[in-house]
């Protein structure tokens, strides 16, 4: 990840975008989140979204090796506190995710996806972003964005659209 300084440093960007939660010590990301619950932020003037937790790690601790994943000790995907993050290999990532019961999101089981997408649908319906921006941000197809916006039964679309499920799994595999 390349970070280019503008008005704020990467550390300040994380500080500005999150609020500390005194009980857990989590830094809760207040900005947008990806469909998988991880915080999303834009940086460097390019229209590119970064995972906020990965960005935070790099801002505080340095580059993430290509072959390693970023895991949450606190099991809160929206948390960007670098002290709650640790590096693990892909296998550890899968084990960790399974142990924490989040596997259902990756496999895109009907129920899990539908629930996840219900929140997402509400956000999309309320969003002022353009169709292509939403497509990029949520990793879903244009048809899904427009179906959600026009209030069609999106659960059907999700169930039938394996492409969307694959792309969400793909995003997971990069975490
Ligand atoms: Zn945390």
Tokens of 65: 């090796």
Q: Are residues 36 and 112 in the same domain?
A: no
Mean pLDDT of 100-125: 50
Q: Are residues 58 and 92 in the same domain?
A: yes
Span between the terminal Cα atoms of the chain, in Å: 13
Q: What is the pLDDT of residue 118?
A: 59
Q: Are residues 93 and 27 in the same domain?
A: yes
pLDDT above 70 covers what percent of the chain?
62
Q: If you measure from the C-alpha of residue 46 to the centroid of ligand 1, how many angstroms do you get, rounded to a whole number?
A: 28
Q: What is the pLDDT of residue 82?
A: 96
Tokens of 152: 């069609």
pLDDT confidence tier of residue 105, bands split at 50, 70 and 90: very low
Mean pLDDT of 5-20: 85
Q: If you measure from the C-alpha of residue 28 to the centroid of ligand 1, how many angstroms do you get, rounded to a whole number?
A: 7
Q: What is the pLDDT of residue 101?
A: 59
134 contacts: CB under 8 Å, gap ≥ 6? 124, 127, 140, 145
- 61, 84, 81, 72: which is closest to 20 by C-alpha? 81
Mean pLDDT of 75-97: 85
Rounded (5°) CA angle 8-12-14: 120
Tokens of 2: 């390349």
Tokens of 101: 């019961």
Q: Are residues 70 and 28 in the same domain?
A: yes
Q: If you measure from the C-alpha of residue 2 to the centroid of ligand 1, how many angstroms do you get, rounded to a whole number?
A: 24
Q: If you measure from the C-alpha of residue 118 to the centroid of ligand 1, how many angstroms do you get, rounded to a whole number?
A: 25
Q: If you measure from the C-alpha of residue 81 to the centroid of ligand 1, how many angstroms do you get, rounded to a whole number?
A: 6
| Within a domain: 3 | no
Q: If you measure from the C-alpha of residue 52 to the centroid of ligand 1, how many angstroms do you get, rounded to a whole number?
A: 12
What is the extent of the structural domain holding 28? 10-100
160 contacts: CB under 8 Å, gap ≥ 6? none
| Within a domain: 37 | yes
Question: Is 0.95 surpassed by the pTM of this model?
Answer: no
127-145 pLDDT tens trace: 777 888 877 777 777 776 7
Q: Count Cβ atoms below 10 Å from residue 115 Cβ, excluding itself.
A: 14
What's the number of domains the chain is made of?
2
Separation of alpha carbons 66 and 81, rounded Å: 21
Q: If you measure from the C-alpha of residue 77 to the centroid of ligand 1, how many angstroms do you get, rounded to a whole number?
A: 8
Q: Count Cβ atoms below 10 Å from residue 6 Cβ, excluding itself.
A: 10
Separation of alpha carbons 23 and 32, rounded Å: 23
Q: Are strands 27-29 and 18-20 parallel, antiparallel or unpaired?
A: antiparallel
Q: Are residues 90 and 14 in the same domain?
A: yes
| Within a domain: 43 | yes
Q: Are residues 18 and 94 in the same domain?
A: yes
Q: Are residues 130 and 144 in the same domain?
A: yes
Positive or negative torsion for Cα 118, 119, 125, 130: negative
Whether the predicted pLDDT of 52 surpasses 90: yes
């Amino acid at each position: 990840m390349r970070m280019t300084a503008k008005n704020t440093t990467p550390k300040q960007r994380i500080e500005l975008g999150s609020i500390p939660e005194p009980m857990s010590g989590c830094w809760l990301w207040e900005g947008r989140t990806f469909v998988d619950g991880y915080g999303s932020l834009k940086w460097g003037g390019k229209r590119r979204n970064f995972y906020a937790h990965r960005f935070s790690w790099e801002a505080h601790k340095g580059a993430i090796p290509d072959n390693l994943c970023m895991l949450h000790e606190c099991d809160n995907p929206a948390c960007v506190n670098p002290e709650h993050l640790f590096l693990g290999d892909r296998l550890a990532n899968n084990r960790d995710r399974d142990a924490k019961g989040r596997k259902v999101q990756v496999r895109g089981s009907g129920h899990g996806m539908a629930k996840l997408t219900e929140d997402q649908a509400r956000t999309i319906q309320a969003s002022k972003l353009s169709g292509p921006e939403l497509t990029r941000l949520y990793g879903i197809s244009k048809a899904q964005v427009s179906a959600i916006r026009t209030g069609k039964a999106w659960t059907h679309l999700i169930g039938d659209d394996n492409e969307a499920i694959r792309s969400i799994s793909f995003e997971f595999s990069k975490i």
